[in-house]
Structure 1
Amino acid sequence: MGEGFGLVVRFSLRDQDSAMAFDELCATTLEGVTGAEPGTLAYLVHVPVGEPLVRVFYELYADRAAFDVHEAQPHTKHFLAQRGRYLADVEVTFLDVVGGKGAARR
């Protein structure tokens, strides 16, 4: 399917101090995402129940090109450059949309 491209990223954080700093980094990044990326359909940060040192991102883009635009943004580059200092592990799963209900395509 050519439309829709997403990913799920699971970040394991080193400790509570790292989690707090990572959350601040995420807040700054989210400001940029919401203001400058029309092809980003969903960009959500979750804390799994019972896992206070884990953050899960769910990202949905109109297509692969919209993801590439996201990756090229200054706020994304800053996030990618800074995140490592807080992480114990990261796992990325790329997703191709095959169907379902979601945000309207732009």
Structure 2
Amino acid sequence: MTGQYAVAARFELVDGRAEEFDALAGWRIGQAAANEPGLVGYAVHRVDGEPLVRVFYEIYRDEAAFREHRATAQTAEFGRRAAGLVQGPPRIEFLNVLYSANGLAVAADPAR
């Protein structure tokens, strides 16, 4: 296990507001990359066949780094600004990274 902590958040967008949400998501990623040293990776995805869905995938050094992310002013601002662009709260799944590649930490021994 890597000890990393990941989150997947699924947002259902209001029809006609996807472009605004996408711009806001780009702003949020930029803020996180510049200000959160515990952030390992952060991506926003469109879902094939579901034009009003976005999925955020975030990886943090550990759970403490995720808690720091949640406590930032930028996270609060994102929530306020996204309120009129989404149909409701995102569906959030908390994930524990077992293996990863491409520059992310990889467990040397899967039994650990």
Tell me the TM-score normalized by structure 1: 0.86
Is the alpha carbon distance of 1:103 and 1:70 closer, same or farther for their aligned partners in structure 2, counting shifts above 3 Å? farther
> Which one has the largest radius of gyration?
2
| CA RMSD after TM alignment | 1.7
Tell me the TM-score normalized by structure 2: 0.82
* Contact persistence 2:2–2:99 (CA under 8 A): no
Q: Which runs of 5+ in 2 are unaligned?
A: 106-112
| Structure 2 Cα separation of the partners of residues 14 and 7 of structure 1 | 22
| Structure 1 Cα separation of the partners of residues 94 and 19 of structure 2 | 26
Count of residue correspondences: 104
2:79 corresponds in structure 1 to 80
* Contact persistence 1:42–1:103 (CA under 8 A): no
Is the alpha carbon distance of 1:34 and 1:11 closer, same or farther for their aligned partners in structure 2, counting shifts above 3 Å? same
Residues 63-87 of structure 1, C-alpha deviation per residue, up to 9 Å, x if partnerless?
Answer: 0111011112221110122222111
| Structure 2 Cα separation of the partners of residues 2 and 80 of structure 1 | 29
| Structure 2 Cα separation of the partners of residues 34 and 95 of structure 1 | 20
Q: Where do 1:23-102 residues align within 5 Å?
A: 23-89=22-88, 90-101=90-101
Q: Which runs of 5+ in 1 are unaligned?
A: none
Structure 1 residue 30: Cα displacement:
1.5
SS at match of 1:76: helix
Is the alpha carbon distance of 1:30 and 1:2 closer, same or farther for their aligned partners in structure 2, counting shifts above 3 Å? closer
Structure 1 ranges of 4+ moved more than 6 A = none
Select the structure that is richer in helix: 1
| Structure 1 Cα separation of the partners of residues 69 and 27 of structure 2 | 14
